[in-house]
């Protein structure tokens, strides 16, 4: 719920109006909805307000050599950070970020900076820390490169009939069965055409659509959701179902707020 505060939504609307042309170009270039881009930047840094104050070189050195469980991963990030000094014109010795060495508006780790950052304003420098235009384009590029499917809804609330859902809920959040198979197990997505619509999270998709069944703890107890490949794409940014759900819910709030502010 911390990500759904009205102040964060309002900040997102202001950021969206300031960078409206850039967001439009990102949508057209990469096929990623502006509300998803905005939600990522909003969750990660509250639109640039909190990018982290740790020197990236210190954070990555500490984790690389004093945290054995993931030491090799962080040493790889440290190496990439110094490579960025030459390729992205950042100062590896002074740039700051999170305690894990993630940097900029979208909190890219160094290897993601190398692989997915783009110079979206074509000024010759790819800067995700000081340039929100590059940050917007880079988040969109990240999602595009991880196979976001334009027009595909992210998730819908699920209705359960019987106990056939149990095996499906154990399969994880990567879509591995079709809506038809879910229906055969007594699991159906909330339809947007249902006169008794009780949630805005609904979809009406072909029976062949691949989905996953999520069992999440909501404010009123267990919640079940059917998630598509685009939900899985969000988890490629941060490998957490709860993170992806926060992004989805913030994106919906932002879309509604942007429509109201027209």
Quick one: tokens of 179? 């809506």
Quick one: tokens of 159? 């209705």
Q: Please state, in angstroms and rounded to a whole number, the distance separating the CA atoms of residues 128 and 137.
A: 10
Which residues are known catalytic residues? 44
Q: CB of 60 within 8 A of CB of 68? A: no
Rounded CA Rg of the chain: 20
Angle ∠(116,56,40) on CA atoms, nearest 5: 45
């Amino acid at each position: 719920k911390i990500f759904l505060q009205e102040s964060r939504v309002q900040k997102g609307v202001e950021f969206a109006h300031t960078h409206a042309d850039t967001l439009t170009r990102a949508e057209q270039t990469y096929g990623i909805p502006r509300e998803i881009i905005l939600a990522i930047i909003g969750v990660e840094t509250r639109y640039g307000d909190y990018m982290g104050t740790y020197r990236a070189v210190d954070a990555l050195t500490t984790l690389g050599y004093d945290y054995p469980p993931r030491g090799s991963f962080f040493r790889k990030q440290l190496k990439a950070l110094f490579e960025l000094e030459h390729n992205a014109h950042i100062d590896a010795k002074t740039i700051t970020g999170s305690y894990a060495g993630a940097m900029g508006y979208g909190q890219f780790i160094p290897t993601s900076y190398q692989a997915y950052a783009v110079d979206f304003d074509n000024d010759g420098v790819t800067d995700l820390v000081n340039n929100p235009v590059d940050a917007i384009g880079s988040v969109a590029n990240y999602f595009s490169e991880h196979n976001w499917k334009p027009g595909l809804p992210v998730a819908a609330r699920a209705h359960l009939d019987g106990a056939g859902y149990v095996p499906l809920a154990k399969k994880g959040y990567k879509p591995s069965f079709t809506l038809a198979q879910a229906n055969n197990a007594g699991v159906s997505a909330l339809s947007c055409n249902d006169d008794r619509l009780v949630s805005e999270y609904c979809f009406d998709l072909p029976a062949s659509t691949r989905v996953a069944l999520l069992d999440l703890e909501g404010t009123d107890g267990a919640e079940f959701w059917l998630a598509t490949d685009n939900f899985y794409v969000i988890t490629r940014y941060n490998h957490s179902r709860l993170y992806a759900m926060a992004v989805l819910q913030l994106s919906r709030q932002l879309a509604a707020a942007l429509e109201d502010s027209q």
